[in-house]
Amino acid sequence: MIMIAKLPLKKIFSGNMRWLDKQQGTILSAASIISAATIISAISGLLIKRILLGRFSDTVVDIQSLEAFWIAFQVPDMMFQLLILGALSAAFIPIFTSLRNKDEQLAFKMSSVLMNLLLAIFTGISIIVFIFAKEITILRTGAEFTQDQIILVTNLTRLMLFSQFFFAISNFLTGILQSYHRFVMPALAAIFYNFGILIGVYLFADSFGIYGAGLGVIIGAFLHMAIQMPLVYKLGFRYSLSFNLAFKGISEFFKLAPPRVLAIGASELKKILLAFFTTSLGNLSFLVIYLAINLMTIPIRFFGTPISQAALPFLSEESENNKAHFRSLLVQSLNQISFLALPASVLLLILRIPAVRLVYGVTNFPWSATLLTGKLVAIVALSIAAQALVQMFLRAYYAMKDTKTPFYVTAIDFVLYALLSAYFVFYTSLGVIGIAIAITITAYVECLIFLGLLNKKIPGILGVSLWLPQLKIGIASFLMAVFLYLPFKIFDELVFDTTKTIELIGLTISTSTIGMIVYLYFAALLDIKELILFKKIFSSFSQSIKNLAKTPEVIVESSGEDSGI
């Protein structure tokens, strides 16, 4: 942090770079910024996976090493999710925002204390995981996982622990920036993270094999942190080495954080169970369902996460001041998410094989794996809307500083997922298909439980302003699926030669365009108010482009978060 003070900050944020400091004043404008960067980040993340598949799928040993790499990432990522990201998303932004409105410098000092405490805890646990990495790997993998893969996972787990330290610092910076409604730089950080992974793969894969990708993760995490430092410094943050537990806001943080950490723990344990169940099946089951889930989560990252992430600071402000406005913002955000997520789910369901081939279809990726991945994508795609809405429900509870309810709901979700997956894997012949079914079922159960409980906490959520638009969106999406399937089959069999990449792209673009035109037509016919989203988003981007060069630097008043992995 000391080095940041020497940087020419006025030069960094002057002229054409001032747009990086622009404050987003509405949920839609903030979500637009996040969505734009998320799209770029997601595309670069898919590119990384394609590069990794192309680089490590020539032989069975290569593809097993790639599977080991993705499994190895789980434990370091789980530690980060539990100790840093979960606590920050649930407690840090609301507390920091509230404290900043009273005393900005006090809020910054609280941030330093909290950063030091969590980093100390994270470092201590990292040392333990580093020492017992092999034992942990053996415990969380099934009988079909080979000894060579266990050694790879052990070494890669130890290596990638270092990346999470940089991520820990970086996400404190993200929390500060988002509390000031600065969303551009945190969104760009994810792109730089993926760029770092690419550097690692290209520079080190030939010499170090799959370990080159692990080094890339460390490089990417460092870039994720470094790019946010100048703007945080410019806003007034100064790091201080303090572990004062009695500091204002710290006790409140540790009251709010544990339930959120436990809730994140349930979600992370689902990932650990996924590795256990799939490695019990063997036949690269983890690899194919991992790829399917990553493809399915793209629409959630595009729509669910940006809108809900952008809404959190606004909801945090309204939760204490205006309950009616809080309910209105929440319902509006839920409808916006569904309006975008449901047609995306339909497109991915119908175009699953072209999507898998375009994203993962490297020359040496087996056709049987492509078909199986397509089946898995079709099943999990049905859960896109539910999972996207859950992102919004979580932020609503965090804005109200209620972290216990999300824990209870995610605990129920985890138990149901574990039971269903165990049944499908060990007592049926469905294999990895059964795990995909379990994922979709539990997503809808979790969504419905959240909705019911939230309606009790904030009466009126389940009113006509929510269920009527949701019904209309569902009807428009269904009709889109009906009218999309026939053109897709005709184009696939009679028009395009999909053995050629350029014609596969033509098939995907043409049928997607038809599908979206049909969806928008029925949305207009049904008078779905969220249709104006398109106009607002395009207007927002257009106006932003015009204002980039002339946007004045914002003077902050005291009242004023995928990766390629």
Cα distance between residue 193 and residue 189, in whole Å: 6
The pLDDT value recorded for residue 560 is 31
Cα distance between residue 375 and residue 286, in whole Å: 14
- 3-state SS assignment for residue 248: coil
- The secondary element (H helix, E strand) that includes residue 134 is helix 133-139
Cα distance between residue 128 and residue 142, in whole Å: 23
Cα distance between residue 361 and residue 368, in whole Å: 11
The pLDDT value recorded for residue 138 is 94
Q: How many CA atoms lie within 13 A of 367 on its CB side?
A: 1
- In tens, the pLDDT along 292-323 reads 998 898 887 776 666 666 665 666 665 556 67
The pLDDT value recorded for residue 31 is 56
Listed as ranges, residues in the chain with pLDDT below 70 are 1-35, 37-38, 85-91, 183, 303-322, 497-499, 533-565
The pLDDT value recorded for residue 310 is 62
Query: In 3D, which of 87, 303, 313, 81 has the Cα closest to residue 183?
Result: 313
The pLDDT value recorded for residue 546 is 42
The pLDDT value recorded for residue 53 is 87
Question: Would the pTM of this model clear 0.85, i.e. be above it?
Answer: no
Do the beta carbons of residue 172 and residue 253 sit within 8 Å? no
Cα distance between residue 267 and residue 440, in whole Å: 14
The pLDDT value recorded for residue 320 is 59
Which region, left, alpha or beta, applies to residue 209 given φ > 0 means left and ψ of -120 to 50 means alpha? left
**Cα three-residue angle 452-455-460, rounded to 5 degrees:** 140
Contacts of 228 (CB under 8 A, 6+ apart): 170, 173, 174, 177, 185, 186, 189
Helix axes of 250-281 and 93-100: crossing angle, nearest 10 degrees: 160
The pLDDT value recorded for residue 343 is 92
Tokens, residue 70:
């993705």
Domain ranges of the chain: 1-240
